[in-house]
A and B are shown apart, each in its own frame.
Chain A
Amino acid sequence: MKARIFVTLKGGVLDPQGRAIQHALSGLGFDGVNDVRAGKLIELDLADGTSDEDIDAMCRKLLANTVIENYRIEKVA
């Protein structure tokens, strides 16, 4: 069983990396990119039967810092 964890900065938290990407896109001639927010994708290969609670705990305890980040769990069959 696999799970994908998407970790993103909360709205309102400055994302200098996203801003740099936006500038680089604009430098390549891609105008009209209003904003860029960069995040992380973490793929977990899990033992079958790992509970949702455990996956959520992994996110809260390590994978995301909930002071500044949100996370979303996507289970892949």
Chain B
Amino acid sequence: MKSAVIVFPGSNCDRDLAVAFEAATGSKPEMIWHRDTDLPDDIDLIGVPGGFSYGDYLRSGAMAARSPVMQAVAKAADRGAFVLGICNGFQVLTESGLLPGALLRNAGGHFVCRDVALTVENAQSAFTSLYDAGEAITYPVAHHDGNYFADDATLDRLEGEGRVALRYAESVNGSARNIAGILNDAGNVLGMMPHPERVIEAAHGKTDGQRLFKGIVEGLLAKA
């Protein structure tokens, strides 16, 4: 099983995500620099990490979304590779059009950095299959621009198609319908603001994120 983590200038969760991928897949992911134009053809899983790529210039994720490597990520997603974008990675995925909508400045104007209660809305996806539908879990968030926005028609479609994977159990940042994470229509791309990679070891205090990574691996094995 081959995984990769994309590294942009200003990424700061890339190594945490690499640790989570390695723990789940059993092998080290390749770290792919943003200027690279190719990914290995047989890549199974791509992580787009959190951080402040390009200093959040123009809009969060805007510059990263146009960097050379994102063309390769889009191609890999097209042929069915799993793509997980966390925090800034979610912003990059919406900016690049791999996921619908946009992430606006938090409604309260403040950076939010704390554990938040989440509900697993869709436990059928490859990313969430090891959770129960409706299960309450806790992941930390740390973001300034996590206020998910899409027009009502898009939101209705996401809800109707089971593409809201995770929802905040409380208002965190003003997100439309408290959306915390969404899937693309093929179900192989997940973008989320909370950080599962920060809750995978007992030393983290919580391990709620572990099953997300294990679930991805099981999903990939089932697909193979």
Contact indicator A14/B58 (Cβ below 8 Å): no
Cβ-closest chain B residue relative to A19: B109
Contact indicator A67/B102 (Cβ below 8 Å): yes
Chain B residues whose CB sits within 8 angstroms of the CB of A63 once the complex forms: 58
Interface flags for A48-72 (1: CB within 8 Å of B; 0: not) read 0000000000000111010110000
Shortest distance from the beta carbon of A10 to any chain B beta carbon, whole Å = 10
Contact indicator B66/A67 (Cβ below 8 Å): no
On whether A16 and B62 interact (CB within 8 A), knowing A65-B95, A68-B149, the answer reads no
Contact indicator B102/A68 (Cβ below 8 Å): yes
B26 sits at the interface (CB 8 A): no
B53 sits at the interface (CB 8 A): no
B68 sits at the interface (CB 8 A): no
Which residues of chain A from 1 to 56 have a CB within 8 Å of any chain B CB? 13-17, 19-20
Distance between Cα atoms of A28 and B87 in the complex (Å): 36
Chain A residues whose CB sits within 8 angstroms of the CB of B107 once the complex forms: 14, 16
Contact indicator A17/B58 (Cβ below 8 Å): no
Which residues of chain B from 77 to 118 have a CB within 8 Å of any chain A CB? 94-95, 100-102, 104-109
Contact indicator B102/A14 (Cβ below 8 Å): no
Contact indicator A65/B109 (Cβ below 8 Å): no
User: For chain A, which range describes its interface: under 10, 10 to 19, 20 to 34, or 35 or more residues?
Assistant: 10 to 19
Contact indicator A13/B62 (Cβ below 8 Å): no
B174 sits at the interface (CB 8 A): yes
B147 sits at the interface (CB 8 A): yes
Chain A residues whose CB sits within 8 angstroms of the CB of B95 once the complex forms: 65
Set A13, A19, A61: member contacting B104, Cβ < 8 A: A13
Chain A residues whose CB sits within 8 angstroms of the CB of B102 once the complex forms: 65, 67-68
Interface flags for B176-189 (1: CB within 8 Å of A; 0: not) read 00000000000000
On whether A14 and B104 interact (CB within 8 A), knowing A19-B109, A63-B58, A65-B95, the answer reads yes
Known: A16-B105, A17-B109, A65-B59. 12 other contacts (CB 8 A): A13-B104, A14-B174, A15-B105, A16-B106, A16-B108, A20-B109, A65-B95, A67-B94, A67-B101, A67-B149, A67-B150, A68-B102
Chain B positions near chain A (C-beta within 8 angstroms) = 58-59, 62, 66, 94-95, 100-102, 104-109, 147, 149-150, 174
Chain A positions near chain B (C-beta within 8 angstroms) = 13-17, 19-20, 61-63, 65, 67-68
A-B contact pairs, 7 of them (CB 8 A): A13-B104, A16-B106, A62-B58, A65-B59, A67-B100, A68-B102, A68-B104
